[in-house]
Amino acid sequence: MNTWTAPARVEIDGESLTLRDVVRLARPTPHEPTARAVLHPAAATAARNSARLRERLTAERKPIYGVTTGFGDSVTQQISPERAARLQHHLIRYHLNGVGPNAPADVVRATLLIRANCLARGNSGIRPQVVERLLDHLDADILPLVPERGSLGASGDLVPLCYIAAALIGEGEAEVGKRVLAAPKALDDLVANTINIGELWARILSPADRALILINAPFAPAAYQFEKVLEYLQVMSLRPWVDNITGDYTRVLRLIRELKVNVFVGPPSRLLEMIQFAHRDDEPAPAFDTLLLMAEQTGPAFVRHLERLTGARAYVAAYGSSETGTTAVTCEHRGLHLQTQSYALEIADDTGARPVDGRPDRGELIVTTLDILARPLLRYRTGDLVEIAGVDCPCGVATPLLRTLGRSQDLITLEGSGIRQNDVESALWADGPADAGDLDAPRTPDAPRAPDAPPVLNAPLVLNYMLVIRDRTILCLVTTTGPADRHWTETTTARLAALFPGRELALRPVEKLPPLASLGQYLGWKLSRVLDLGDERNWDRLPAPIRGVVEETLAAYAPSTTDS
């Protein structure tokens, strides 16, 4: 029998859990007091000792199967201690391939309980906090969605269990009450991020605002996180979802109008796709007061472009990752402030790594979490190139200012020259009104334009773009607000061609870009906006109408390049 000090308390020690306990916790009834499972202190000590042994052996570079070695036949491949945490993360993601209906709620509750009981024995090198998180999910009835069917062999149980593990790290989906939500991160993670973000966003938003959260990734925790931030600020929000294939924004545009939404929260490419949809379908273009942009690189030219299209003041509102949480948050002066109270931050380049101390610096950002108990002291190389401004922000917040420069791999390299996203966008959107002004200068939507500023819509405005590269030819596909005349085409082409000396550059307006162009938040800039047809497989990523335009244009410059 399991012993406990009160009828509502079940102590988990890895030894004394009974079938009756499992049924009681997995199938609660109104006739019995609500039971709660807690980790026994002795089991917590055993788990802590086991975790310390694992940490010591890892530091000594001793091989530990599945921790510092590969799996199965790859057991002979040793993993460095620095990459061990990433290996576990990849293992979980790799096994999220279950099929069939989701397991019933009582089965998921029983799985959470039994897995916690197994780990409580202290033989697995698992920290006691992991066991406690499993029991916290059980107690709060946060139930991961777990497909019933895994796969043959050893992965038969690994697949379902990885859905449980994914919920603990803030990925996957979970049922909370009657709602299915993106799995919330650990409670401490959620609280820390909500306060960190909310205290700075409070300088921008007010309870009178109404916000649209359009983060089209139901598996990601970001949308849930920002919903909690807006609740913290007492701002009404709605969080719809748009099909990536059809790209139909009719319902979303109607909600914006009927609910008088004035704040957009989400990736810039998603906002751009919604604006294009409205233009293409003769819907009123959405107008906002405030844009809170995130999840992909957004340089000064992109920000000014979105301000021009929406009449809003735009902010690169947050920077971070699912691995580390939100690392930097904007203030009212559009300064992206590093959250030094929650992270140890370093800059790395060819000379090595050094702490961020507020002085000007540039390189890859390395983040170590400090207050996320589910992932303590996780040192994560982001792969993002950043710049530390080294100046004080007028808002008075003393933490260092960050400027993101994009992913290290988001670079078009031609003849030794590196071309970045903002280079292309500065050339492509240089025909904007003069009152777009400096990104760092205050601006209001109704500020008067300078007397010599060109009218915004007298000439067509480029809405969005994609670059297609084949041999010596670069084709820029664009969607526009109207038909392009010869002068506009030649002027815009000349600005872009200056970035690609020695190459043939063609500009072609199209009605609709491939869906790939709206996936910057998933793929990054280069994989979503730059298509290299030197790889023949990339032809299949072009829908039929677009492929015809590409083939016709490339044939005009080099007929042999269309043989694919």
The sign of the torsion formed by the CA atoms of 448, 454, 458, 464 equals negative
Kindly tell me if the per-residue pLDDT of 63 is higher than 50: yes
Q: 119: which 2 tokens?
A: 């780990």
| CA 27/CA 111 separation, integer angstroms | 12
Q: What is the mean pLDDT of the chain?
A: 81
Model pLDDT for residues 411-443, shown as the tens digit of each residue: 777 665 678 888 899 998 875 443 333 333 333
Write the pLDDT tens digit of every residue in 523-537.
Answer: 778 778 888 887 777
Q: Which of 318, 296, 343, 384 is nearest to 192 (CA)?
A: 343
Quick one: how far is CA 326 from the chain centroid?
A: 10
Question: What is the model's pLDDT at position 380?
Answer: 84
Q: Which domains are seen in the chain, by residue range?
A: 9-179 (1.10.275.10), 187-408 (3.40.50.12780), 413-562 (no CATH)
> Rounded to two decimals, what is the model's pTM?
0.64
CB 56 within 8 A of CB 40: no
pLDDT at residue 144 greater than cutoff 70: yes
> Coil, strand or helix: which one is 250?
helix
Query: Higher confidence at residue 218 or residue 36?
Result: 36
> 250-284 in b/e burial notation, b at 16+ Cβ within 10 A?
eebbeebeeeebbbbbbbbbbbbbbbbbbbeeebe
| 377: its two tokens | 């002291």
Task: Yes or no: say if 330 and 337 are a contact pair by the CB < 8 Å rule.
Answer: yes
Would you say residue 257 has pLDDT above 80? yes
Residue 217 has pLDDT above 70, yes or no: no
Phi, psi of 48 (to 5 degrees): -65, -40
Under the banding of pLDDT at 50, 70 and 90, the label for residue 444 is very low
